[in-house]
Chain A
Amino acid sequence: MNVPEWVEGVGRESVLCSRARLARNLSGVPFRGAISPQEARRFCERVLDSLKGLHPAFAPLADETSEELPDLVEAMRLPGNLLDPLDPGPWLALEDASRGVLALDGDHLRIWARTPGQSLPEALEMAGSLEALVREVMPLVRDPQFGWITASPMDAGTGLRASLLLHLPALCIAGRTTGFPEAMEAMGHALAGPWGGISEDDAGLFVLTHRRTIGLSEAEILEGLEGVASIFLREEENARRCLLQEWGTELEDAVARSASLLGSAHLLSRRELSARVRWLSVGARLGWVSASQARDAMEAHLRTGDRTLSRKAGSVAGELEGNLDEWRARTTAGIVRGDDDLQASTPERSRRDDA
């Protein structure tokens, strides 16, 4: 699995990446939920035919039949709703490294771009450039009053959904994230976990996005989002400072334990790995461990989600009796120690080899 490029910012940045997504639709084709599977399949083929020549590196990433779908969702390269068994598709994802098009995920086309760090204008420019190319080969529908019309009324107008991937480990450790979603709601924004609701298992990752999409220009939406993000960045710095002042040696101890444990644990739950990523990320910002140690831990976290491990377990049936924590520990140790064999072998096979 390719690790997303934003992992490079872990241990150094609080805004890991910026994303802009433009919802666009065509006339004469029903939206997902109203379209028949046959018509949806034909539409996906039409999208592929129309768009594959736009850019040499623009290639199909996945569709509803892809085995790697859980891995792609856990690496945040595709949205989690595509795993919904009650709404299985068809859909199609095309990708060119940091930009792409998702066909029939709600809207007919969702044109997106992702850029590292806090760089929303750059992400919007990339998505907008791709949209301009798409517009040359597919007739997109715009209404004089409503602007870009969308499957959900909540996306109408600009069709823009801009978001920032925030990493706030110190705020999580200090227990200061309670009430954030409600506060964001009141400010016309939304804060969620990267895979849905906020969870302790998310390694301190959050997605910040806006609610309004109509009646504002794209630039105004980006500025509003960045203004709200600056509050989180300031609070994260404050939390880091408080942790250092109030916990001192205990904080240093937790960081050091995390650094050594990830290379040697035999069992590692998703929750514990998530906590270790947070400690190491704070430690890296304080200069106690290298940023690469925090990055390795985040990479392990992204590559050892329950769905990914379960899929791998299914592909080597009989080798793994559902002990995902054991496999997670081995994969993590392999990443942290740079040991490819350790990452590739299953726990059962390893025990047989040892015997």
Chain B
Amino acid sequence: MSRICPDCGRSWEDARSKGRLGCTGCWNSFRTELSALLEESQGSDRQVSGKGPVDQARGLRRHRLESRLQVALSHEDYTEAGRLRDELREDGT
């Protein structure tokens, strides 16, 4: 018999067939089933811990600016390199 979420009354079978859970409590109620589903469909059932979206976005942008700076320096394009260095400074690095 399919398990039921005590918070919203939705069964796992119902949630699975609709592709939607009933409430946040369903994640606890169907933890085992959801782990298996995520492993199968996304290759992982565990979120990587770490920085939040703002820090991730800033880190990515900074990494790109630094890469472009290296390219500009290797091409001896000092005008572009100066502009990128200013941009990195403004970015707080």
A interface list, Cβ under 8 A from B? 20, 22, 25-34, 106, 121-122, 124-125, 127-129, 131-132, 141, 143, 145-149, 151-154, 156-158, 160, 211-219, 222-223
Question: Do residues A25 and B52 form an inter-chain contact, with CB atoms below 8 A?
Answer: no
Per a CB cutoff under 8 Å, which of B22, B38, B53, B58 touches A156?
B38
Residues of B16-61 contacting chain A, CB below 8 A: 18-25, 27, 31, 34-35, 37-38, 41-48, 50-54, 56-61
Question: Do residues B54 and A219 form an inter-chain contact, with CB atoms below 8 A?
Answer: no
In the complex, which residues of chain B have a beta carbon less than 8 angstroms from the beta carbon of A30?
8, 22-23
- How near does chain B come to A254, taking the closest CB pair, in angstroms? 38
Give the CA-CA distance A121 to B52 in the complex, in Å: 13
Per a CB cutoff under 8 Å, which of A124, A160, A214, A217 touches B46?
A214
Question: Do residues A218 and B38 form an inter-chain contact, with CB atoms below 8 A?
Answer: no
Give the residue among B18, B22, B54 with the most A Cβ atoms within 10 A.
B54
Question: Do residues A145 and B24 form an inter-chain contact, with CB atoms below 8 A?
Answer: no
In the complex, which residues of chain A have a beta carbon less than 8 angstroms from the beta carbon of B22?
30-31, 33-34
Question: Do residues B41 and A154 form an inter-chain contact, with CB atoms below 8 A?
Answer: yes
In the complex, which residues of chain B have a beta carbon less than 8 angstroms from the beta carbon of A128?
52-54, 56-57
Give the residue among A22, A25, A30 with the most B Cβ atoms within 10 A.
A30
Question: Do residues B8 and A106 form an inter-chain contact, with CB atoms below 8 A?
Answer: no
Give the residue among B46, B51, B52, B57 with the most A Cβ atoms within 10 A.
B57
Give the CA-CA distance A121 to B65 in the complex, in Å: 12
Known: A122-B61, A127-B53. A149 touches B27 (CB 8 A): yes
Give the residue among A33, A148, A149, A216 with the most B Cβ atoms within 10 A.
A149
Residue B10 CB within 8 A of the other chain:
yes
Give the CA-CA distance A125 to B48 in the complex, in Å: 19
Residue of chain A at shortest CB distance from B9: A34
Give the CA-CA distance A122 to B51 in the complex, in Å: 16
Listed by A's residue number, 30 A-B pairs whose Cβ atoms lie within 8 Å are A25-B24, A28-B24, A29-B24, A31-B23, A33-B22, A34-B8, A34-B10, A121-B60, A121-B64, A125-B58, A128-B53, A129-B54, A132-B54, A145-B47, A146-B27, A151-B21, A153-B19, A153-B21, A153-B37, A153-B41, A154-B19, A156-B47, A157-B44, A157-B47, A160-B53, A214-B45, A215-B43, A216-B44, A219-B57, A223-B60
- How near does chain B come to A51, taking the closest CB pair, in angstroms? 18
Question: Do residues A152 and B20 form an inter-chain contact, with CB atoms below 8 A?
Answer: yes
What band does the interface of chain B fall in when counting residues whose beta carbon is under 8 Å from A? 35 or more
Residues of B56-89 contacting chain A, CB below 8 A: 56-61, 64
In the complex, which residues of chain B have a beta carbon less than 8 angstroms from the beta carbon of A215?
42-48
Give the CA-CA distance A350 to B60 in the complex, in Å: 55
Per a CB cutoff under 8 Å, which of A106, A127, A156, A217 touches B48?
A217
Question: Do residues B38 and A214 form an inter-chain contact, with CB atoms below 8 A?
Answer: yes
| 19 new A-B contacts at CB < 8 Å, known A26-B24, A146-B34 | A20-B53, A33-B20, A128-B53, A128-B56, A143-B27, A145-B35, A148-B47, A149-B27, A151-B21, A152-B19, A152-B21, A211-B42, A215-B42, A215-B46, A217-B51, A219-B56, A219-B57, A219-B59, A222-B57
Question: Do residues A33 and B18 form an inter-chain contact, with CB atoms below 8 A?
Answer: yes
Give the CA-CA distance A156 to B41 in the complex, in Å: 12
Per a CB cutoff under 8 Å, which of B8, B47, B61 touches A214?
B47
- How near does chain B come to A134, taking the closest CB pair, in angstroms? 12
Question: Do residues B54 and A153 form an inter-chain contact, with CB atoms below 8 A?
Answer: no
In the complex, which residues of chain B have a beta carbon less than 8 angstroms from the beta carbon of A141?
24
Known: A128-B57, A215-B44, A219-B56. A27 touches B24 (CB 8 A): yes
Residue of chain A at shortest CB distance from B19: A152
In the complex, which residues of chain B have a beta carbon less than 8 angstroms from the beta carbon of A31?
20-23
